[in-house]
Structure 1
Amino acid sequence: MSAVATMPAVRGKLTPNAPLAPLVWFKSGGSAEWLFEPSDAEDLVQFLRQIESDMPVMALGLGSNLIVRDGGVRGVVIRLGKPFAKIERVDEVTLRCGGGASGILVSSTARDAGIAGLEFLRGIPGTVGGFVRMNGGAYGREVSDILVSAKLALRSGDVEEWPADKLGYTYRHSEVPEGAVVLEATFRGIPGKPDAIGAEMDAIARAREESQPLRSRTGGSTFKNPPGHKAWALVDAAGCRGLTIGDAQVSEKHCNFLLNLGSATSADIEALGEEVRRRVKAKSNITLEWEIQRVGTE
């Protein structure tokens, strides 16, 4: 499967054995068998139609909520760049956003258009594709509150527009099929004043800066909040604040964040997370679920 001749011609960039560590926030992990950066949606769709039907496909956004295991990722990792970051205003309160657009770009565009209700996206360090797939949320709101529909390139290369109710949203979960890529999403807010929207976004940015280790090599929120609990408080109560394995550490600033202090492997980071889960279970009898996606082979 590693021979270049087995892959279709593309207009974008197709790289074999591509290191993924530089593309993810933890700065750890192995390589992708193939990394494809399509030039546009048609390039992506044709590629999906032509590759072997059993070849695994995984979309990669900003790599913020992701552990790439040290053995790397089989198949194709698809990274949506600038051609997929366009945002179009549909009506007074609706935006159509490319799958590669960041939360900051979407919320800023909404602010400038006088669309309120999307401010929380300022607090999600990812792309539209990632937070549509994961029902990303922050500060009391989540994507399911604002999503009208999502356009998906399925693994087969078929393109379908799914209404929000077909995505089967629950907490940090959707029914986006495996191997599908979110091409676009349509979000709807409510009318608002740009100054007030901007003030809310600034408040969110300040709160994140004060409470989260944003300038570190981290993966964002590690564990989902169990019903009726805050994950960070359970981790803290179990005595895990500052806990280390190798160069991986539970953040002392916000203990639902794991850090790579410099040379941690993905195995170190994942092992630390599992040790935290073990200690929380022993202390509170609550089983924490990973929010961070873990992919690849060990």
Structure 2
Amino acid sequence: MTTPLVAPFPDITGELGAIPGLRGRLEANAPMAPLSWFRTGGPAQVLFTPVDEDDLALFLANTPRELPLIVVGLGSNLLVRDGGVPGVVVRLGKGFGGITVELGHHVRAGAAAPDVKVARVAAEAGIDGLAFLRGIPGAIGGALRMNGGAYGGETADVLVSARALDRAGNRHELTAAAMGFTYRHCDAPEDFIFVEGLFSGRPGDPAEILARMNAITEARASSQPVNTRTGGSTFKNPPGAKAWELVDRAGGRGLRRGMAQVSEMHCNFLVNLGGATAADIEGLGEELRSRVRESAGIELEWEIRRIGLAA
């Protein structure tokens, strides 16, 4: 009988660190709570921070395919379960955060570049069309993977192409059409790790674009719990409905489980009041799904990404 894998996990960093030429940092049983905006959850068996794209490709090409591997970004829509994450968690850092302005009102951004920073660089360069990124609390990699959007815009509207690495370290260039974007989803293979995106805008006045971005900032601050331990929007909006309204009608506003609470300000946000476990947060979300299912006959779908093992 196989013994279940639980944290603290067996240390396999020695084996992985033996890959010739590998430059990135490998950490065994690395805390994941500091990497999630919820600030909760167990450790990663291995946390790998590659130096750059070549380093990541080398790592992928030399690790067993059966070894579980998950990629995380800024952790804004991430819930790490209390039992930790077996296998490897790849966290893209500074080597994937570049942003450059190119001819034709194009902006090229690495997967680790914060959406808000990309929006600002575009605005200051007089490139309109990317201001909506100011309203997404994440990085470009996440926007590519889930067609991130806010305030009337989404990634599908502005993407020209994306570059990704597969599980074997091979590089792939995908056109916007090949991404197969739908609402909060793309059809790119699950094992693709996005490393860069090229976006297209249109000529605009920097002052006007920045003013719109400031309006987005003010709108978020007045309607969302932006300075709390939260994971952003918890559920996707069902067709023809708004998740927050369904939760509100089902009596979810302010509902608590342990130290997790449904935000009083915005019912589609779950908040860690301090000391909440991932089980508290996920359990509260499942209770909301059950209430909405019973009251409205609608199945809410999680937008927050949940990874790892239960305690």
Shared fold (TM-score greater than 0.5)?
yes
- State the partner residue of 1:59: 71
Query: Please, what TM-score do these two structures have when normalized by structure 2?
Result: 0.94
Provide the C-alpha distance between the structure 1 equivalents of 2:84 and 2:179, rounded to a whole number of angstroms.
29
Is 2:52 aligned against 1:40? Answer: yes
Counterpart secondary structure, 2:253: coil
**Which amino acid letter does the alignment assign opposite residue 13 of structure 2?**
V
Deviation at 1:2, TM superposition (A): 2.7
Is 2:79 aligned against 1:70? Answer: no
Match of 1:197 among 209, 224, 228: 209
**Which amino acid letter does the alignment assign opposite residue 161 of structure 1?**
E
- State the partner residue of 1:6: 15
Deviation at 1:197, TM superposition (A): 0.4
Is 2:99 aligned against 1:87? Answer: yes
Residue range with higher mean Cα deviation, 36-45 or 169-178: 169-178
- State the partner residue of 2:268: 256
Conserved? CA contact 1:59–1:179, under 8 Å: no
Deviation at 1:76, TM superposition (A): 1.0
Provide the C-alpha distance between the structure 2 equivalents of 1:216 and 1:208, rounded to a whole number of angstroms.
13
Output one character per residue of 1:227-266: Cα deviation in whole Å (capped at 9) or x when no partner.
1111101111111100000001000000100001001100
Conserved? CA contact 1:92–1:115, under 8 Å: no
Q: How does 1:134-145 map to 2 (within 5 A)?
A: 134-145=146-157
- State the partner residue of 1:269: 281
**Which amino acid letter does the alignment assign opposite residue 135 of structure 1?**
N
- State the partner residue of 2:172: 160
Provide the C-alpha distance between the structure 2 equivalents of 1:117 and 1:4, rounded to a whole number of angstroms.
43
- State the partner residue of 1:234: 246
Q: Which runs of 5+ in 2 are unaligned?
A: 1-9
- State the partner residue of 1:212: 224
Provide the C-alpha distance between the structure 1 equivalents of 2:135 and 2:262, rounded to a whole number of angstroms.
21
**Which amino acid letter does the alignment assign opposite residue 5 of structure 1?**
G
Counterpart secondary structure, 2:38: coil
Match of 1:31 among 24, 27, 43: 43
- State the partner residue of 2:5: none
RMSD: 1.0
Conserved? CA contact 1:92–1:191, under 8 Å: no
Counterpart secondary structure, 1:59: strand
Deviation at 1:175, TM superposition (A): 1.9
Moved over 6 A (4+): none
Deviation at 1:194, TM superposition (A): 0.2
Q: How does 1:121-132 map to 2 (within 5 A)?
A: 121-132=133-144
Provide the C-alpha distance between the structure 2 equivalents of 1:212 and 1:16, rounded to a whole number of angstroms.
36
Conserved? CA contact 1:30–1:72, under 8 Å: yes
Provide the C-alpha distance between the structure 1 equivalents of 2:100 and 2:45, rounded to a whole number of angstroms.
34
Deviation at 1:118, TM superposition (A): 0.3
Provide the C-alpha distance between the structure 1 equivalents of 2:160 and 2:89, rounded to a whole number of angstroms.
27
Identity over the aligned pairs, expressed in percent?
Answer: 54
Deviation at 1:152, TM superposition (A): 0.0
Is 2:292 aligned against 1:283? Answer: no
**Which amino acid letter does the alignment assign opposite residue 3 of structure 1?**
I
Provide the C-alpha distance between the structure 2 equivalents of 1:53 and 1:282, rounded to a whole number of angstroms.
42
Alpha carbons of structure 1 residues 171 and 296: separation in structure 2 relative to 1, 3 Å? same
**Which amino acid letter does the alignment assign opposite residue 191 of structure 1?**
P
Provide the C-alpha distance between the structure 2 equivalents of 1:250 and 1:296, rounded to a whole number of angstroms.
23
Provide the C-alpha distance between the structure 2 equivalents of 1:47 and 1:4, rounded to a whole number of angstroms.
12
Is 2:247 aligned against 1:247? Answer: no
Counterpart secondary structure, 2:142: helix
Conserved? CA contact 2:13–2:27, under 8 Å: no
**Which amino acid letter does the alignment assign opposite residue 123 of structure 2?**
R
Paired positions, count: 298
